[in-house]
Structure 1
Amino acid sequence: MSGIKQRVKKLLLKTVWAFGPEDVVRTIRRLGVRPGDVMMVHAGWRPDSGFRGSVQDLVQAFLDAVGPEGTLCMMSMPFHGMTMAEYLKLGKVFDVRRTVSMVGLPSEVFRRRKGVVRSLHPTHSVAAYGPKAEWLIEGHERCASPFGKGSPFDKMVEAKGKILIYGVPFNTMTFEHYLEDLLQHRLQVSVYSAMTVPGLVIDSAGRRLIVKTKVISDELNRSRNTDSLYSWMKETKVARKMNLKHIVVTVVDAGDAVKALLRAPEPPPGWHIAF
């Protein structure tokens, strides 16, 4: 970028593109989130985004959007840029108290917040804060699959929760794996590998646990086209999008997404194509 373009961009970020925490809350509310809701957030952080405030202020805005009676949760995964299978092969220990979240700075800042609890899954841990936080994460390590019955994603549906995607691609939405699990018998590909894989977890009391988990298959990862799922969600109105200055903000209604998928005669066209 030339020097002139850089100066123009900096000026725009301070003026036309600038926004604050109250704008974040207002946008989330306009997309259908209400005080008292359970909301799962996928968010990125860039110092040059135009946001007037710190990453802590951004996390607080998410909390303000659901209010003190609402529950906020974020993915708190210990890896990025690799598959579940690749990460588990590394043999790393997941310490619920200390293992850093690798899925965006807001998630790590949130994880460290006083009162936040975290589920005991070795690859897809969920961090949560609010009245339903303990309920949301409880028993995740005992679920037959990380995304299926009894998981935090399943409880998001039960709680009529919302999923917020703020300034990151739609394919960061982990709830997509829950939908794959739900429709696994209707997809053309195997959702999980044949074998479960053990992961070593240390809980909040320092106890070591072996948690066996199903692993997303390489076949599923190769076949997935999240853009097709997003197009279908927009058409069925279970996903709503707004631009906050130049930040794209999307909200998905978890319960409505499930209802629409179960009513549909077939999975969204092009979502998974067997090779």
Structure 2
Amino acid sequence: MKILLVGRNGQVGWELRRTLLPLGEVVAFDRERLDMSRPETISSAVDRVSPDVIVNATAYTAVDRAETEEGLATTVNGTAVGALAEAARRHQAVLLHYSTDYVFDGTANVPYAEDAAPCPQSAYGRSKLAGEQAIAEVGGDWMVFRTSWVYGVRGRNFMRTIAGASLEREALRVVADQRGTPTAARTIADLTAHALREALLRRRDGAFPGGMYHLTARGETTWHAFAESIVEAMRAARGDAVRTRSIEPITTEQFAAPAPRPRYSVLDGTRFDHTFGLSRPDWKTAFELVFADYLV
């Protein structure tokens, strides 16, 4: 079996390069080999590989910049994803794609299920919803995994930002009125590989479990509480090198980001658990494991 991985150098893509290997031959593309900002090139790039599975782990993720670059965000996250879906269907390949909690408006007070009505409030959220819709319109055998608050040992993410700031600044200010689930890139990649293997086995029997799933760690917290966990872990590992002595809780309005964020974006992963027979880790447990690697 041949697996085409798009986005090999991203947070999730980097981890997928490891977890997908037991499933078959992995052909991993970076932007130079498959540029999602040029949808017209996608068909020929996929044809050169002729894959059995396509895993799309790349996206336009600059949430605030998307407010002024919505056209580019929609091209990468919407139009190009549709082209990838068309190529997958032509090759009779399974398409696995990642989406986001930003497709919801954040007004709920219980975890969002897959059938909750999307209502994105940001350009980024609208672009990701466009990708979901494009895949559904093309059809074929596909799965979309929505996830949230992704972090890891590589790239630009909240964990690395707070850990670095704790060595430089005595006081931090972090939003405390947004709730979600921090989800490690490693967690996503590990669970993806297991779920994909199960899906492919069922496909052979004519029972492919396609559709939308929510894939995050378990539990929920705020950005402020997550920051506290990061600084505490840094202090336990680095001692007096950590300069941060206070983390001030602030409101979303005080943070004043260009793009609106969902106030509540916890995703209900029950369908994922039941379908694939997996148990997602609690976000705190996953964080401890990832942070240990970050310190190495």
TM-score (norm 1): 0.33
TM-score (norm 2): 0.31
Choose between structure 1 and 2: higher helix proportion.
2
